[in-house]
Structure 1
């Protein structure tokens, strides 16, 4: 009988839940933790084990997977996990936290566990069907068969390179979506038919950004997009991205939009007359 590693999955948001479900369906013994404990309920009903605390989740784990909101959440979970983490475990950090947070976690582990940074590209639809893009940095060989249950693995190089490339990709995609929104605002102002403008943009190099701006089967919270651009602009001088970030922060500040998908923010930016 093929060995199935015991996995602790920490963070059951819109992405984490379908990812964890795929690992459970693959036969891995799965222990789950989430800050809002009720989110573990559906997975527990399917066979996962609920942990009250992060430390309880990882105590007997072969592999720990974190899918958290950002660097602060990762640091807080690490505080709770490190005293209970088994020596030799593999920690797969899949959140979008940037390379600095990955290196800080590696320093805290100090060789006790093998750390892999493996953030994902794609949204909730691709998490559910196992077609995510996985950008894996570090010594990923030992967990690549697990990651393959979630999508296509691209080895990016040394530890931290997965997190770095994810930040590059998200910055381009988010900025492209906002650019499409403003281009359509220009079309509206000039009296160009909206569908005609959308079709023309979709036929050019911004096709992917157009599709994402109007996506209905994906969810990437606007607040998380704001967080990602903040990580990017804190890393390098990016004047255009700073302007995009300001527009997105303004949209996220409106009622109901911070937790809504990026496409909702794009629709609002299209109709905004001042930034």
Structure 2
């Protein structure tokens, strides 16, 4: 049994903690809002008095929303400066530049750092079938691997540079954003000719584009079912912005990225920030006057 600190008990964090508890680990948890802590404490997790207590555990796992959240909680408050953990496993999607900064800051304090963003929604996390994209120094990965295994259908090890794991996750979400926008526009097109959107989604998923993306998102678009969100428009915009930022670092153009970013911004302007990003279909319909 390994003792683990865990920070961030949102949609993804809670099922991850449950997987770790089921695997026999003692998990010390912290969250900015208390109800999620109390919920997991009733299931066997140990509430931490504060964030510093979590970072006194041998291994800390965190899943926070973005660069700003990590910076505010970990760096600005001096938590990392005083941390006594051996390794920090960051399961969140952060920018490539911040991943590099975090690796350096941890190394300066003798703490291992593993970037381990995941592919999969909450139900996949609950089943322990996430695809984990892991990168970090070999010694840190060795400590992290047994704790990632209860969460993962597969762990993809991407080398010693933590930024690689985040760039791969950002690239995957960039591809997904492009697919959603294309599906949204195609759905609006066929609907304008009287074609049933649900039948179109079934056609896509059953022929040229098998898998969860076109059939799954096509189904949400056909039903106009955007809440509760599996992945919000706000988070989609964040990840497309991360892709554009990473591309600028390499002076690499991403022309479709700018188009998708504008569509997501339009969705936010419409007040749809917390809807599933499949709501891009309603933007395409609105442009078509439907």
| TM-score, normalised relative to structure 2 | 0.85
Q: 1:1-275 residue pairs with structure 2 within 5 A?
A: 4-59=1-56, 61-79=57-75, 80=77, 81-86=79-84, 89-109=86-106, 110-138=108-136, 139=138, 140-151=141-152, 152-159=154-161, 160-202=163-205, 203-205=207-209, 207-213=211-217, 214=219, 219-236=230-247, 237-255=253-271, 257-263=272-278, 265-273=279-287
Structure 1 moving runs of 4+ over 6 Å:
none
Cα displacement string for residues 49-93 of structure 1 (whole angstroms, at most 9, x for unaligned residues): 22243112222x111111010111111122232133115x11101
* Counterpart contact for 1:55–1:83, Cα < 8 Å: no
Count of aligned residue pairs for this structure pair: 268
Report the Cα offset of residue 111 of structure 1.
4.9
RMSD: 2.1
* Counterpart contact for 1:252–1:258, Cα < 8 Å: yes
Q: Which runs of 5+ in 1 are unaligned?
A: none
| TM-score, normalised relative to structure 1 | 0.90
Which is worse superposed, 236-245 or 124-133?
236-245
**Structure 1 residues 40 and 253 mapped into 2: Cα distance closer, same or farther (>3 Å)?**
farther
Q: Which runs of 5+ in 2 are unaligned?
A: 248-252
